[in-house]
Amino acid sequence: MLIPNNPDIDFTELNRRITEDVARYRTQKDVRSLPRFTPSAADIPGQPISWEHLVTLENEALIDAAYRFLLGRTADPAGAAHWGEQLNRGIDKFEVLANLRYSPEGKRHAAPTHGLRRARLKALVRRIPVLGNGLFSLYGLTRTEARHRMYTARFRQQSEQNLAHDALHRQMRRELDELRQLIEDNRHMLQGEIQALPPLLSDCSQRIDQCNHSILQFAESLEQQGLVGKSLDERVQETRMRLARLESTNLSTQTCHGSNEASNIGQVLSSIPDSFYLALENRFRGDDETIKARLSYYLPMLDECAPLQAGLPAVDIGCGRGEWLKILPERVQRIGIDLNATNVLACHEQGLEALHDDALRWLARQPDASLGLVSAFHVIEHLPFEQLHTLLDQCLRVLAPGGMIMFETPNPENLISAATHFYTDPTHIHPLPPAFTEFLVQYKGFQNTRLHRLNPIPREYALDEDSEVARRCDALFYGPQDYAVTAFKGQV
């Protein structure tokens, strides 16, 4: 209970705030949301304390804090007992504080205080023998009405606080009863679930036994198929090769029955005269020496192809005028395939072996693992996706382990090539982004896949790269005009 005996403290406002806090706690539904008690630094012995906090304390806490604040030291047992006795006799605590503050020790410490004038006067008067008691009696008579009002206010405030505490206590009791009931209900529920656990565990055990049996059967199946001990990549590749064999078998069946669906690379060209397409290539692709110089880039890669070194042939799909076939080393057996009869005739005139045939049908007739290299320069951009899909499957089947594919196509990363030069050839379908081609080759099961960006615009036509914008424009408009993807068939 707060006693309004300090004129420097607004007790009306302080009591109003206490009443609001108590009312708020009474309306709270969750007791756990009440603020936790966290002692301030002033409540901890040895920590700094303020005068405003000191005057709110009572009894032993008041004496301990007063010694530290007013005298700068802890209370000695004799002093603490003396002033405690004074408080118990009913001496106003402000008189106690005034005595400590204006003692010789308190004056030396000189702690900042306010509101002790009346208390100091009372302490001085109390020291006067006989006369002091009379003066106090007279002072008490003059303060009777004010003291009565104060006590009435204190009693009313105390009553309100007691009512608030009773309501809060009743609420806590109700919530405690609800919590106990909830615990009891959960206990019964948990007992029911625990009783249901043994049948559930038994069922799980049976399922685990079934899974173990299935795993053993699967392991036996892998052993029978010879897949045990192989890496995941090897198993994936073998699975894809089996799928490719099934698809190629279906393709061969369609070919034998005369099917014309997506098996002929040259269907689009069937109505275009061979002489026209040869003239188109001569005009826009470049002369024989230019093409040979560009294709020479691939010659060092042939040393990586073991089946080619062992004597298996290299097949060039869409061999054209035979530029690639002519620059292959003499030791390499080579075969060209082209649908353009004029191109095939031009190869024959140069002493090169070339066949006038559809590449997919020709590959479908070849035995498994019979070729060392399959190349196709500027061919795959002519193919629908279904034919490109089938071409890769057939290459994976007919190549010997370690065999190589080598596909070159226009590079759509060069915006001029993608938007203009690509459509110079009316038989082109759509550009193939390098990332897609690389992914498709890897997905089909080829290994060691590499992208080669080739034939950039000569530097004399490029921009001066004196800024970030110029460098980016240079890459987009004057970068590599072609790219190639190379990959190998893994060792199965």
Q: Which residues contact 59 (CB under 8 A, 6 or more apart)?
A: 84, 87
Cα 101 to Cα 111: distance, rounded to the nearest angstrom: 8
> Pseudo-torsion of CA 197, 201, 202, 203, nearest 10°?
100
pLDDT in tens, 206-222: 888 888 888 888 777 76
Phi/psi region, residue 229 (left: phi>0; alpha: psi -120 to 50; beta: rest), is left
Q: What is the pLDDT, as a whole number, of residue 230?
A: 55
pLDDT of 307 higher than 70:
yes
Cα 145 to Cα 142: distance, rounded to the nearest angstrom: 8
DSSP per-residue string spanning 242-299: HHHHHHHHHHHHHHHTT--SS--GGGTTTTS-HHHHHHHHHHHT--HHHHHHHHGGGG
> Pseudo-torsion of CA 67, 71, 74, 76, nearest 10°?
-80
Higher pLDDT among residues 158 and 310, named by residue: 310
The residue among 145, 126, 158 whose CA lies nearest residue 3 is 158
pLDDT in tens, 350-407: 999 999 999 999 999 999 999 999 999 999 999 999 999 999 999 999 999 999 999 9
How is residue 75 annotated by DSSP? P
pLDDT of 312 higher than 80:
yes
Q: Could you give the domains of the chain? A: 11-177 (no CATH), 242-488 (3.40.50.150)
Cα atoms in the 13 Å half-sphere on the side-chain side of 56: 12
pTM over 0.85: no
